[in-house]
Structure 1
Amino acid sequence: MAGSQDDIPPPPPPPSQTPTQQTPHTEVIQNGNGPVSITTNTQGQIKVLPPRITKEILARERERKARITLLMALPEDHLAKFHKMTDAKEMWDAIKSRFGGNDESKKMQKYILKQQFKGFSISNLEGLHKGYDRFQSLLSQVEIHGAGVSTEDANQKFLRSLPSAWSQVSLIMRTKPGVDSLNFDDLYNNLRVFENDVKGSTASSSST
């Protein structure tokens, strides 16, 4: 049932962003999670210690959500085989190896991309330009894998994902006639018109 390794669809490339700007559980699937604290018992067996610091707690929660994301996308008759795996990246690699380039693997890829699209957001630190580049990259992956996002859905999602400093502009643009049929590049150029106003408003609020 497995196809050749050349047929395996590559996972989406990791976006160039800080960890707080990522969709955490899908990043865990692609890149693995951070190290966890372990110890060795008297029999020489390795044991993973419960999370204690905030960073470890967040890492464990992301790992749990990543596993759930993968298990939800698997066909029911394959759940038992992969359910015992505790590492999300290991599970993802095993799924690619098992299914190769067949329909199940392609469905899995689409599911992960849709999860990334659903959880997309832009922080104030990231700003309009970097957010645009990252969303454009995600849209390209969605199109390549046939995940099916309409122009209207893409434009509305991007506008809702803008940083809080853009909230008023976002509201204006979302209700603007014709915005749902705009090319994404044209939408971005429309937003750039408001950039100086947004920066001025942000600077004024910080000063106050």
Structure 2
Amino acid sequence: MRMVQYLTHNDYALWEVIVNGDAPAIASTSAEGPIPPKTVEQKLARKNEMKAKSTLFEGNKESKKMQKTIMKQQYENFTASRSEGLDKTNDRFQKLISL
């Protein structure tokens, strides 16, 4: 939901590519591999498609910074509970540091 709001407000053209696709951007493939776009429209469409995929799967700079801050806070605030066993504490810690 947040990603939808972000994209619709900050880069609506990018959101359109995500929702509807960008037909000229889809390069056909041959036996040797993908055929690169040749026209200006195809190149622009390919750029929009790559930007959309990158934003969806990697996030933007602000979201990456926020994720790092949150993980740092979780690491610094990590404590073991007396009622929790050592195995569960270790599992929680391993999950935290593997993110």
Is the structural similarity TM-score above 0.5?
Answer: no
| TM-score under structure 1 length normalisation | 0.22
| TM-score under structure 2 length normalisation | 0.44
